Structure 1
Amino acid sequence: MPDITALAAHPGLTEVLAVSKGDQGPGALLRTVLIVGIVGVPLVAWFLLRGYRK
């Protein structure tokens, strides 16, 4: 089993986890996911339930 400290010190992993000064965090992504969820769930429910109308 690999040593977890060696994995944490890997340069590729630290680049991915690094946050730049201009980064606003997950705000835009979280906002997009919430909007898609709020709009998407009723649309999927309508699409699935319209078959039971008859």
Structure 2
Amino acid sequence: MPHTAVLLAAASNEQGPGATLRIVLLASIVGAVLLAWFLLRGYGNNDDND
């Protein structure tokens, strides 16, 4: 049983993919918002020069 305690202690120190997935998710949300703003900003101008 001493091996189980060592394995559990080693596993609890590992962070896993949680932080990386959070960063990727946040970056993709920010990127989607910026892309939507960039694409939709042209619909609001009232230029009558055509």
Query: Given the two structures, how large is their TM-score scaled by the length of structure 2?
Result: 0.51
Q: What is the one-letter code of the residue matched to 1:24?
A: Q
For structure 2, the 5+ residue unaligned runs are: 1-9, 46-50
- Counterpart of 1:36 in structure 2 is 27
CA RMSD of aligned residues (A): 1.9
Q: State the structure with more CA Rg.
A: 2
For structure 1, the 5+ residue unaligned runs are: 1-19
Q: 1:44 Cα shift?
A: 0.8
Higher RCO (CA 8 Å, separation ≥ 6 residues): 1
- Counterpart of 1:52 in structure 2 is 43
Q: Percent identity?
A: 60
Which has the larger share of helix?
2
| Post-superposition CA distance 1:1-54 (Å, at most 9, x none) | xxxxxxxxxxxxxxxxxxx75431111110101111222211110011112223
Q: Spell out structure 1 runs of 4+ moving beyond 6 A.
A: none
Number of corresponding residues: 35
Q: 2: CA distance between counterparts of 1:41 and 1:23?
A: 31
Query: Given the two structures, how large is their TM-score scaled by the length of structure 1?
Result: 0.48
